[in-house]
Amino acid sequence: MTELRVLKEANQRLSEDNQELRDLCCFLDDDRQKGRKLAREWQRFGRYTASVMRQEVSAYQNKLRQLDNKQQELIKDNLELKELCLYLDEERGGVHQRDDGDGSSSSTNAEESVPPSRPRHTTTFN
């Protein structure tokens, strides 16, 4: 009879241990599934972010090409205008040398159009 009681107690402990292990397995399985779900979400987010970044980079590259083309047009227009100004200066007689427009000259158009100043006459009253 004692042996039966000892076996029942051992069986009870083993059943409790077994239940504890089952609960732990369920917990770990749930945790594993949550981890996989989170990994899939991050993967989706990564793909979405990469796609958005590709679109943004492509848009910026297009904009850069447009700006470069516009800059080339402006350079061409500026050269044509410069040639036209030089031609017009030659037609007028070429008396005044034009400014290159790059800020390197010391004169301005306003200085060129002002006639030279006359010396002042000073009078003293005594």
Does residue 116 lie within any of the structural domains? no
> Can you give the residue range of the structural domain that contains 86?
2-93
Does residue 114 lie within any of the structural domains? no
Q: Is the pLDDT of residue 108 over 70?
A: no
Does residue 88 lie within any of the structural domains? yes
Does residue 104 lie within any of the structural domains? no
Does residue 86 lie within any of the structural domains? yes
pTM: 0.50
Domain count, the chain: 1
What is the Cα–Cα distance from 16 to 8, expressed in whole angstroms?
A: 12
Does residue 101 lie within any of the structural domains? no
Does residue 75 lie within any of the structural domains? yes
Per-residue pLDDT of 39-92, as tens digits, reads 999 999 999 999 999 999 999 999 999 999 999 999 999 999 999 999 999 999
- Confidence band of 96 (pLDDT split at 50, 70, 90): low
Q: Is 99 exposed, middle or buried (0-12, 13-18, 19+ CB in 10 A)?
A: middle
Does residue 125 lie within any of the structural domains? no
